[in-house]
Amino acid sequence: MKLYPLFADLSGRQVLVVGGGVVGERKAAALLEAGAKVVVGAPELSPALQGWAEAGRVEWWRGTFEDHWLDHAWLVVAATSDASLHRHMAALGEARRIFVNVVDDAETSSFHVPAVIDRSPVVIAISSGGHAPMLARLIRERLEVLLDPVIGSLATLMARMRAHIKARVPDVSLRRRFYERLLSSPVQSLLRRGQWALAEASAERLLDATEATPAGSVLLVGAGPGDPGLLTLRGLRALNEADVILHDRLVSIDVLALARRDAERIEVAKQAGNHHATQDQIHALMLEHARAGRRVVRLKGGDPFVFGRGGEELEFLRSHGIPYEVVPGITAAVACAAYAGIPLTHREHAQSVRLVTAHCRNSIDTLDWQALAQERQTLAFYMGTSELSAIRQNLIDHGRAATTPFALIENGSRPEQRIVVGTLANVVEQAMASNVRSPALLIVGEVAALATTLSWFGSAPIGTVPAATLPAAAAA
């Protein structure tokens, strides 16, 4: 069953509630709140309903249900304890095209009453389609905490200023920007203190600033390794405010799903071997959209400044006078280590950690292997899956023990994450046996062995590290 959400204007319209107990009372109260003309049909009423009937707030039809009660009703609520009566009422409603809500019976109901967060005039309604009302209520509780009560006042103020705002800022996307800024402006705190005139003046100043808003900008945003929970709050906000999103292939769909729906998404995947041309194209795209006054989010896997070519992009933007900001992200080494239970600088085993790129023969040859082969440091190799044998050879040639543990983390932090462990001696064979694919991160160092005992996410590590090389996990 798929429901169509709607907000109904019930003011002055007759609604029939059948049942005079506490449930009927709750339903009647909510309907009265919405200004409905409530009729309660029941042989007897709860004390509160009784009071409302006496005060003329609800009309009481005393007795058991009769079909003609449905005459003139826009909506009907069945709130008795008689299931067969409920089914009868639902069938009647169906025949007469009157919507009937049957309490606690989603299937028989032709309309559902959602869980509500009331910041009038802003109202948020949540439905689970009757499948999990408890869950809907929990979601409601969470949102209650998130949504400042002042949102209602803000909406009231905006209603008052709406025509004026539209006239001052005719451009839709500029206007959207005004509203976004409004949400993080002093206007809210002024409203919270009840200072409406000051709040209005402050909104007015914000309008001035919006009109003067210069051309577009580019935000370089780190999307993290894949788990959308690892995106920063600032990154999330950037995604919500973006007009255009230029993203790498490495950015997970789950992160992209958080972006503003009507933002234009452009995948700017770099094909291996064709790096240069596409980097130029990315630059051209950033420039084109920013110059058209759009807010461009350049979204990169992990962190934009860790093997992400963020530096080149900033230099380009700077030389073209485009304003930019950078939002860091959780880089693969940090995320994969966390999700594999590998403390990168466990003090028993490592005093430093190095982030190393190994994406081609060329970069392998220019690395300082003497330094990389030193003991008591952890190495995190990015883009290394195709160069495992060169990495092993160089480390061993320069003195790192063949018994040094490694962990290869494929699709770190994503549901399909895999961890392969072993020692330098068998890293190539282990990776091949498990058919490890990109994106994968190689961690080399004593700490890698801890994955066998401390890993917690996804499936258990594949492979073993000989006991002799296992550091004492208890010494953490």
Among residues 25 and 303, whose Cβ is nearest to ligand SAH?
A: 303
Distance (Å, rounded) from C-alpha 5 to C-alpha 358? 53
Residue selected from 203, 314, 440, 443 as contacting ligand SAH according to rule CB under 6 A:
440
| 331 interacts with ligand SAH by CB under 6 A | yes
Task: Look up 365 and say whether it is catalytic.
Answer: no
Q: Which of 41, 216, 226, 341 binds ligand SAH (CB under 6 A)?
A: 226
Among the listed residues 365, 411, 418, the one whose alpha carbon sits nearest the alpha carbon of residue 387: 365
Q: Nearer to ligand SAH by C-beta: 206 or 306?
A: 306
Binding residue for ligand SAH, selected from 65, 111, 324, 382, defined by CB under 6 A: 382
Residues facing 123 on adjacent strands: 118
Whether 57 and 39 have beta carbons less than 8 Å apart is answered as no
> Of 37, 227, 243, 248, which is the active-site residue?
248
- The C-alpha atoms of residue 251 and residue 270 are separated, in whole angstroms, by 13
Stretch that binds ligand SAH, among 27-35, 103-111, 115-123, 404-412 (CB under 6 A): 404-412
Question: Are 352 and 378 within 8 A, CB to CB?
Answer: yes
**Angle of CA points 94, 98, 103, to nearest 5°:** 85
Closest C-alpha to 207, from 242, 240, 241, 161: 161
Report if residue 438 touches ligand SAH, rule: CB under 6 A.
yes
For residues 77 and 103, the answer to whether their CB atoms sit within 8 Å is: yes
Q: Provide the minimum distance between the beta carbon of 226 and ligand SAH in the complex, in angstroms, as a whole number.
A: 5
Three-state SS at 147: coil
The three-state secondary structure class of 59 is: strand
Asked if 459 and 417 count as a contact pair (C-beta separation under 8 A), the reply is: yes
- Give 230 or 322: the residue with its C-beta nearer to ligand SAH: 230
Residues 254-313 close enough to bind ligand SAH by CB under 6 A: 300-303, 306-308
- For the chain, helix, strand, coil in percent to 5 are 45, 20, 40
> Are 63 and 85 contacting, i.e. CB atoms less than 8 angstroms apart?
no
Helices (H) and strands (E) in the chain, counts: 18, 17
Yes or no: say if 77 and 24 are a contact pair by the CB < 8 Å rule.
yes
Count of residues that bind ligand SAH according to CB under 6 A: 24
CB of 391 to ligand SAH, least distance (A): 12
- Smallest gap from Cβ 301 to ligand SAH, in A, equals 5
Please report how close the Cβ of residue 134 comes to ligand SAH at its closest, in angstroms.
34
Q: What sign results for the dihedral spanned by CA atoms 388, 391, 394, 400?
A: negative
- Please identify, using beta-carbon distances, which residue of 16 and 333 lies nearer to ligand SAH: 333
Instruction: Give the range of 53-61, 284-292, 343-351, 407-415 binding ligand SAH by CB under 6 A.
Output: 407-415
Is residue 412 at the binding interface for ligand SAH, with CB under 6 A as the rule?
Answer: yes
CB 246, CB 268: distance < 8 Å: yes
Question: Which one of residues 101, 109, 411, 423 is an interface residue with ligand SAH (CB under 6 A)?
Answer: 411
| Helices 275-291 and 310-319, packing angle to 10 deg | 50
Question: Looking at beta carbons only, is 332 or 395 nearer to ligand SAH?
Answer: 332
Torsion of CA 21, 24, 25, 27, to 10 degrees: 160
User: Do 62 and 39 meet the contact criterion of CB atoms below 8 Å apart?
Assistant: no
> How many beta carbons lie within 10 A of that of residue 211, not counting itself?
12
Q: Which of 108, 413, 423, 430 binds ligand SAH (CB under 6 A)?
A: 413
Return the number of the residue (76 or 221) whose C-beta is nearest ligand SAH.
221
230 makes contact with ligand SAH (CB under 6 A): no
Binding pattern for the stretch 344-373 against ligand SAH, x by CB under 6 A and - elsewhere: ------------------------------
Active site residue 166: no
Closer of 58 and 440 to ligand SAH (Cβ): 440
Residue tagged active-site, from 270, 280, 365, 368: 270
Tell me if 341 contacts ligand SAH by CB under 6 A. no
For the CB of residue 313, give the shortest distance to ligand SAH in the complex, in Å.
12
Residues lying near ligand SAH in the complex (CB under 6 A) are found at: 225-226, 250, 300-303, 306-308, 331-332, 336, 382-383, 409, 411-414, 438-441
Active site residue ranges: 248, 270
